[in-house]
Structure 1
Amino acid sequence: MFASSVAGSSRWFSFVNESWRIATLWLAGVLLFMSFRVFFLVYFHDRITTPIDLNVILNTLETGFAFDSAASGVCFSIPFLLNCILQPMRLGHWVRMVRNFTGKLFFVVAILLCITSITYIAEYGSQFNYFMFEGLHDDQQAIALTVIEQYRPWGSFLGLLALLVVAFKLCERVDKQSNSFLQRIFTDCKWKRTLLISIIVVLFICAIRGSFESRPASRKWSAVTPDPFINNLVINPFRSFFYAIKDYNDLQSHGVNGENPYLSHNSGLDALPLNALSKHTTAPLLAAPSQVFVIVMESYDSWPLQQKYAALNLTNQLKNLASKGIYLDNVLPAASSTMNSLSSIVSGIPYAGVNMSLIGPQNPSSKLSLFNQFEQLGYTSQFFYGGLLSWQNVGEYVLSQGVDKVYSAIDAGGKGSAGVWGIDDGQLFDLVAEKTTKKSFNVILSGSYHGPFNLDLDKYNYPYKSVADYPAEINKLAGELLDPYVLGHLWYADKMLGEFVAKMEQRYPDALFVITGDHYSRRNFHQRPNLYELTHVPMVIYGKGVSADLVPAQQVASHMDIAPTLLDLIAPANTQFYSMGQSLFNAAPDRRVFGFQTIRHNEQLWRGDLSALYEYYRVNERDKTQLLPATPSQFVEIDAQTEQAYTQYMATAWQLLTQGMD
């Protein structure tokens, strides 16, 4: 009894007792993150593309534990440090208050991020990254309604509430626990007290670092398995959220006055000067057409056009156009988001991680602008979008790049069945047909293949009601297949595209069309797409006098090649223009092409944070024809020359957007 009362009044014992409470909450945080990691591995198991064994799982959990320990440890460092400072001053009640507040705040944030990460992974195939902050500039109401209608997150909401109740009760129980068993270690011996305090402090430091080793838990050491999706789960949602903030801030460099992020660690490199981007056309291959249409299709990626999916008949309209013109399927989009890809195409400046639609209008029109360069050829430039011009500031952005006329859903009478995002593609193309003027250059951004998916497909005679309606050879694919109703929106978008091209071709027989996707769709037909299917978009150039033999079918290309190719096709000889792309009529067969965090060189394909973690895939033409995926290719690191070329390319793009070039 005496020992108990002495222990209760001892500042040393109060420190140990409070340290135990903090350690209990730290452990609960670690178990929370670890539980979600295991859940992700099970729930998203069909996204794992390489064979795994027990060692892979153990490596994942072991390395994940380091990140979990660090995330939880950093959050509880404040009450622990106060415990070290205030307990000797007999101010333990302040430590208790801070610990209670920190514990509840930590669990609210951690559980919210973990629950939200389920939907984020389902849509984007990864945990949080810089891209999530692009939503700050998007139509947030439309995004919220899309999430509600497409994912119906009521189960996640109930799970969030249940976990919060458990977490709060745990905090209360830890606070009220007497921890009387700790009285057994009570001692008056100063060296024993010092030893125990030293052990507690060392364990605390190791918990924050996530490691007993010389190097702490760090993103660059997280790729411990051969599967990129599993590697992405090594870092917990809490830590990945803060990495996303860091990456976003690094890319933005705190606005247009910051240091070029691509040159800060590459002192030997410089952004290319503007005169290095100057080019001249050769002799035109076509007489200047009366109408030019650049059509950017929402989420229209390469996989539906592959031979192995031909039986689905999803994109017959574009296939028909491709068979009569130039068709390329080795094309990298400028970005993985609609606005940034569109911005890159119209401005001629590749996306380098900075939100182009906000910074662009602050600067003079880009000298690489597609609109300006076609206006010099005598065309009236027009932009058509099926949503509202306030979305991603798209109206102001295209005007800043020199477009003459801008049309949106408002000009077609408002909303269609697409609901929150605007009018349907059929209505959009009707608007384009109505507003097309003599000798116009038109950029069109479609939108129907975008959630929430709510078109009435029956009135268009869409053939698939259920997965069972898919062709027999398609149903041989193992695992869950993409919902036919969702897929029907791609079919509808393709149908409307075909009807529009036929109408315009009849009205303007010399019309020229360039059709591409804004980015890959993030909705793949089956759950194990290869990296090629996750990165490429098609490009079709169609019109009178355009033939397939003008460009090799296997030529690699990017969105940035659209402008120089069009200009080389129709502009008078020796017309000067500026471009970071190349005309496909004289591009080298073995050239490197770049998208944001994506590189293609011959058959070699890399994607990811190229300074730390990335995936590799060797593009195999057989994969485009055989339904079942081939064995994954052996990993190949990016060679120094290719990485340097990518860095300079992005540094130049960043400089063009934020600083401009004279």
Structure 2
Amino acid sequence: MKIDFPARLSWESFHTVMMKGLKVYAFYLAVLSLFRLFFIFILQGYLGPASGTDDILLALWRGSRLSMQTAGALALVSLVPSLFLHYLIPKLEMLSWRVLNGLLLSVLSILYVASFPFYRQFRMNFNQMIFNGANDDIYALFITMIQQYWLPVRLAGALLLAYGLWRLLMAWLSWTPGENFLRSVRLPLALRLVGRLAFLAVVYLAALLGIFGGSLGWQTAVDWENAGVTKDEFLNEAILDNPQAIYRAWNLNHRMLACNGLDFTVEDIRNLAATLSGRQPDSDNLDVYLQKTAGGAQLERPSHVFVILSESFANWPLLDKYQNIPISQGMRALLAEEDSDYCPTFLPNGASTVSAVTGVVTGFADANLYLTTMPESFKEPYVTSSAPQMEKLGYTTNFWYAGPATWERIGAFTQAQGFDHFYSRGDFGDVPGSVWGCEDEYLYEHVLNGLSDAPSFNVILNASNHSPYDVDVEAKGFDKEAVRATLPPEAQQDEELLRELGHYWYADRELAKFVKAIKAKYPDSLIVIVGDHGDRYNIDKTPSTYERYGIPFIITGKGIHKGTLLPDSAGSQIDIMPTIFELIAPKGFHYMSVGSSLTTVNRRGVNYGFWITRQAIGKADTVPLMPESLNGGEAPVIDDQVMQDYINAVRSISWWRPKYGAVLDASLLEGRE
């Protein structure tokens, strides 16, 4: 019995639909490649000085290969539904192509337009910060995007771009030169078969290139993890198209949430903890290795202790090479005083403010855990937490935050970790500020007024030096033109940079005024000043690793002197509390910490991605470690194994202890993703 299929099930019908799919695939590949080209051209100021045409061409080629995977995925989104509709409801097929690709191009264009301010802010294509934003203050983020990044204008531009691309794609799909002629010519069967096989071969080749990222097999496949092959960090980020960058962020965030981004066995952790503590690996109780004993107070007991986490307070403005730029006079004057000491080789706990908070509050390094949202963080304070240990020394504990208590659950988190009192924007009344928090001067005023003669430990987190950078700093005395005159010629017309530098100036001035006021009212106070993180803005678009990520560690107060800190000290935010304990705690006082004091032993710091010493800095995840000299000279030699052990010890303990508790029990890892 002969079966007659409908015409739409014919080879010609299949060929027509698949040809549209191939056209969509080619179109998206062209768009993503052009997006990359213009991204590099517009942001070319971020290219490293050693990067040349060959590096750019390599990035474009590598990126186009990777974008074959993205283009294939996008093409499938519109091809599969349209293929089904072609056979089931043919009248809706073209509508499907139009609607689905309209949506895809809108999303793609919005991401592309957003990638420019994102890179300027974070020096990366989309990363985990977009997922951190899900836990952030959404309203504040929205207002910031409107005020600083002109969201309505950028969105309108993105949608206009999407419309233009959509019209081009529709014209491309409708363009069928020679198709009617080929249909009218009756070719021999052999030629038709050869033509069909050739077409299927093209489809198969496109599928392979899409699956394996510009390759024909997994052995040579390009993906987000191996795409960055140039020596330039900017170009390596440009290689990732926006969907690939978001996939990277999602993948890394998934690893973090699943706690499988770190791969340590119980035996590894025991040995590393023993090495860190300088004892034998003879216990399965991790807390045994965290216990330390104070050597004896180096200061008279201070009435008040302050740890000031200053928003985006980077160390680079304090370096000698920038001393002529008048934005850091307050801290420079403070550092010149006899009762102040300073460690210029200090790292933040992570890339965002919440990492700094968790580092100071819990004493743990950033180790693929989101402590402010983990249920374990709300059961009881960790043994390494700062507030309960300061209470043992007789201090009432206060956390002062310029912003809202709901940000990152900071109010609930700090109180769950033992702080007696938490104060936030809602406690300060109607005071000037942005959506992220009140202006620094009003925060410090409330802290000063809220103190009593009772001994207190105070962590202060300000917010003014933060986008949208809307403090009227010129009205407050910022001499923009004087700063402009000290900048390199290529930076003098950068109004956004000048606004950012103005906010650093304001944060510096108000911080200096607060320290002066505290010393006048409570002259026996101990004050520690650190940035919450660096890595937001620099004068140099391609700063050294040290200038980009370093933050200052400043300690001042009665009894502090030059030489209080080790001359070759270095550290990170997990070392703040051990330093305080060794300064003020009586001899024999037991405290718990992962970090160690900069007054006694600590000569290295480590965080989520980097390590630092007094002479060098480097990435923490390279094997072997690759030191970069801090002064641009020849890289110093380091003991690679000792530093690797320190990095792994800090990370493994900070991963295991908050998630699984004190007992090193391998059964707790069973069933872990």
TM norm structure 1: 0.88
Q: Deviations over 1:255-293 (max 9, x none)?
A: xxxx543017x7973364222111111021112111111
Map 1:8-23 to 2 at 5 A: 11-23=10-22
Q: Does 1:286 align with 2:302?
A: no
Q: Deviations over 1:182-221 (max 9, x none)?
A: 8638764475234532342233222332223442112232
Q: 1:134 touches 1:355 (CA, 8 Å); kept in 2?
A: no
Query: Which residue of 2 is the match for residue 234 of structure 1?
Result: 239
Gaps of 5+ in 1: 1-5, 254-258, 624-629
- Three-state SS of the structure 2 residue aligned to 1:329 is strand
Please point out which of 102, 112, 115 is paired with 1:114: 112
Please point out which of 200, 209, 229 is paired with 1:206: 209
Please point out which of 285, 310, 319 is paired with 2:332: 319
Map 1:83-122 to 2 at 5 A: 99-122=97-120
Q: 2:315 touches 2:344 (CA, 8 Å); kept in 1?
A: yes
Q: 1:338 touches 1:518 (CA, 8 Å); kept in 2?
A: yes
Map 1:13-92 to 2 at 5 A: 13-77=12-76
Q: Does 1:307 align with 2:320?
A: yes
Query: Which residue of 2 is the match for residue 655 of structure 1?
Result: 656
Q: 2:269 touches 2:652 (CA, 8 Å); kept in 1?
A: yes
Q: Deviations over 1:429-466 (max 9, x none)?
A: 111111112111111111111122232334433222x3
Map 1:160-239 to 2 at 5 A: 160-178=158-176, 180-181=178-179, 184=182, 188-189=189-190, 191-192=193-194, 193-214=196-217, 215-239=220-244
Shift of 1:134: 0.7
Equivalent pairs counted in the alignment come to 633
Map 1:339-354 to 2 at 5 A: 339-354=354-369
Q: 1:142 touches 1:421 (CA, 8 Å); kept in 2?
A: yes
Shift of 1:606: 2.7
Shift of 1:495: 1.5
Q: Deviations over 1:542-571 (max 9, x none)?
A: 111111212234421111110101001110
Gaps of 5+ in 2: 274-285, 664-673
Q: Structure 1 CA distance, aligned partners of 2:147 and 2:484?
A: 29
Per the alignment, do residues 80 and 229 of structure 1 end up closer, same or farther by CA in structure 2, a change over 3 Å counting? same
Per the alignment, do residues 181 and 251 of structure 1 end up closer, same or farther by CA in structure 2, a change over 3 Å counting? same
Query: Which residue of 2 is the match for residue 561 of structure 1?
Result: 575
Q: Structure 1 CA distance, aligned partners of 2:625 and 2:41?
A: 22
Query: Which residue of 2 is the match for residue 463 of structure 1?
Result: 479
Please point out which of 551, 560, 570 is paired with 1:537: 551
Query: Which residue of 2 is the match for residue 606 of structure 1?
Result: 618
Query: Which residue of 1 is the match for residue 596 of structure 2?
Result: 582
Query: Which residue of 2 is the match for residue 526 of structure 1?
Result: 540
Q: Structure 2 CA distance, aligned partners of 1:50 and 1:228?
A: 12
Shift of 1:541: 0.9
Per the alignment, do residues 169 and 462 of structure 1 end up closer, same or farther by CA in structure 2, a change over 3 Å counting? closer
Q: Does 1:396 align with 2:393?
A: no
Q: 1:293 touches 1:444 (CA, 8 Å); kept in 2?
A: yes
Q: 1:56 touches 1:225 (CA, 8 Å); kept in 2?
A: yes
What amino acid sits opposite 2:618 in the alignment? W
What amino acid sits opposite 2:412 in the alignment? E
Per the alignment, do residues 386 and 19 of structure 1 end up closer, same or farther by CA in structure 2, a change over 3 Å counting? same
- Three-state SS of the structure 1 residue aligned to 2:581 is helix
Q: Structure 1 CA distance, aligned partners of 2:38 and 2:77?
A: 30
Query: Which residue of 2 is the match for residue 596 of structure 1?
Result: 608
Q: 2:311 touches 2:464 (CA, 8 Å); kept in 1?
A: yes
Q: 1:480 touches 1:526 (CA, 8 Å); kept in 2?
A: no
What amino acid sits opposite 1:456 in the alignment? D
Shift of 1:641: 6.3
Q: Structure 1 CA distance, aligned partners of 2:429 and 2:14?
A: 69
Q: Structure 1 CA distance, aligned partners of 2:488 and 2:64?
A: 39
Q: Structure 1 CA distance, aligned partners of 2:656 and 2:581?
A: 24
TM norm structure 2: 0.86
Shift of 1:425: 0.9
Query: Which residue of 1 is the match for residue 283 of structure 2?
Result: none
Q: 2:348 touches 2:551 (CA, 8 Å); kept in 1?
A: yes
Per the alignment, do residues 605 and 430 of structure 1 end up closer, same or farther by CA in structure 2, a change over 3 Å counting? same
Shift of 1:239: 0.7
Q: 2:525 touches 2:557 (CA, 8 Å); kept in 1?
A: yes
Query: Which residue of 2 is the match for residue 269 of structure 1?
Result: 268
Shift of 1:7: 13
Query: Which residue of 2 is the match for residue 131 of structure 1?
Result: 129
Per the alignment, do residues 615 and 182 of structure 1 end up closer, same or farther by CA in structure 2, a change over 3 Å counting? farther
Q: Structure 2 CA distance, aligned partners of 1:545 and 1:343?
A: 29
Query: Which residue of 1 is the match for residue 254 of structure 2?
Result: 249
Per the alignment, do residues 528 and 195 of structure 1 end up closer, same or farther by CA in structure 2, a change over 3 Å counting? closer
Q: Structure 2 CA distance, aligned partners of 1:639 and 1:117?
A: 37
